[in-house]
Amino acid sequence: MNDATARAVERMLAADPMWTETGTAGERIGLDRHTLLHAGPPFADPAEICPPILNAAAATLLFEGMADSVEEARALVRSGAVTLRPAQDFGMVTPLAAVVSRSMWLHVVEDAGGSGARAYSPLNEGGGPALRFGIVSGAVVERLRLLHGAVGPALAGIGSVELRGIACEAMEQGDELHGRVGVASALLTETLVSRLGGTGEVCAFLKEAGQFFLNPWMAACKAVMLAADGVPGAALVTAAGGNGVRFGLRLSGMMGEGWASAPVAAPQGPDIGAPRPRLPAIGDSAVIDALGFGALALDAAPLLRAELGAAAETAIAAADRLLCADHPVHGRRVGLDARAVLLGGPVPPVCLAALHAAGEDGIVGRGLAWHPPSCYAEAVAAVDARSRAGFPDAPDRRA
Give the rounded percent of residues in the chain with a pLDDT score beyond 70.
Answer: 98
CA dihedral 152, 154, 160, 161 (to 10 degrees): -80
What is the rounded distance in angstroms from the CA atom of residue 115 to the CA atom of residue 348?
A: 27
Return the closest-CA partner of residue 279 out of 42, 88, 54, 82: 54
pLDDT digit string, tens, across residues 368-386 = 999 999 999 999 999 998 8
Query: For residue 200, what pLDDT band results from cuts at 50, 70 and 90?
Result: very high
**Are 312 and 267 spatial neighbours (Cβ–Cβ below 8 Å)?**
no
Residue 399: pLDDT over 70: no
**Are 393 and 231 spatial neighbours (Cβ–Cβ below 8 Å)?**
yes
What is the rounded distance in angstroms from the CA atom of residue 327 to the CA atom of residue 299?
A: 16
CA 366, 119, 330: angle at the middle one, nearest 5?
65
Alpha carbon separation from 48 to 51, 52, 154, 174, 387 (Å, rounded):
9, 12, 37, 38, 32
Query: For residue 387, what pLDDT band results from cuts at 50, 70 and 90?
Result: confident
Query: For residue 344, what pLDDT band results from cuts at 50, 70 and 90?
Result: confident
What's the confidence (pLDDT) of residue 394? Answer: 59
Query: For residue 396, what pLDDT band results from cuts at 50, 70 and 90?
Result: low
Q: What's phi and psi for 155, nearest 5 deg?
A: -70, -20
Q: Is the model more confident about 386 or about 163?
A: 163
What's the confidence (pLDDT) of residue 92? Answer: 98
pLDDT digit string, tens, across residues 250-297 = 999 998 889 999 999 999 999 999 999 999 999 999 999 999 999 999
Residue 398: pLDDT over 90: no
> For the chain, what is the mean pLDDT?
94
State mean pLDDT over 188-210: 93
Residue 313: pLDDT over 80: yes
C-alpha of 221 from chain center: 8
**Are 254 and 320 spatial neighbours (Cβ–Cβ below 8 Å)?**
no
What's the confidence (pLDDT) of residue 43? Answer: 96
Type of residue numbered 232 = P
Side-chain half-sphere CA neighbours of 262 within 13 A? 12
What is the rounded distance in angstroms from the CA atom of residue 287 to the CA atom of residue 279?
A: 19
Question: If 0-12 CB within 10 Å is exposed, 13-18 middle and 19+ buried, where does residue 241 land?
Answer: buried
What's the confidence (pLDDT) of residue 320? Answer: 86
pLDDT digit string, tens, across residues 127-161 = 888 999 999 999 999 999 999 999 999 999 899 99
What's the confidence (pLDDT) of residue 5? Answer: 95
What's the confidence (pLDDT) of residue 210? Answer: 87
Helix pair angle (3-14, 214-227), 10° resolution: 140
Lowest mean pLDDT among 37-46, 132-141, 343-352: 343-352
What is the rounded distance in angstroms from the CA atom of residue 227 to the CA atom of residue 335?
A: 12
Alpha carbon separation from 241 to 11, 245, 282, 288 (Å, rounded):
22, 11, 7, 10
**Are 41 and 243 spatial neighbours (Cβ–Cβ below 8 Å)?**
yes
SS (H, E, C) the chain: CCHHHHHHHHHHHHCCEEEEEEEEHHHHHCCCCCEEEECCCCCCCHHHCCHHHHHHHHHHHHHCCCCCCHHHHHHHHHCCCCEEEEHHHHCECCCCCCCECCCCEEEEEEECCCCCCEEEEECCCCCCCCHHHCCCCHHHHHHHHHHHHHHHHHHCCCCCEECHHHHHHHHHCCCCCCCCCHHHHHHHHHHHHHHCCCCCHHHHHHHHCCCCCHHHHHHHHHHHHHHCCCCCCCCEEEEEEEECCEEEEEEHHHCCCCCEEEECCCCECCECCCCCCECCCEECCHHHHHHCCHHHHHHHCHHHHHHHCHHHHHHHHHHHHHEEEECCCCCCEEEEEHHHHHCCCCCCEEEEEEEECCCCCCEEEEEEEECCHHHHHHHHHHHHHHHHCCCCCCCCCCC
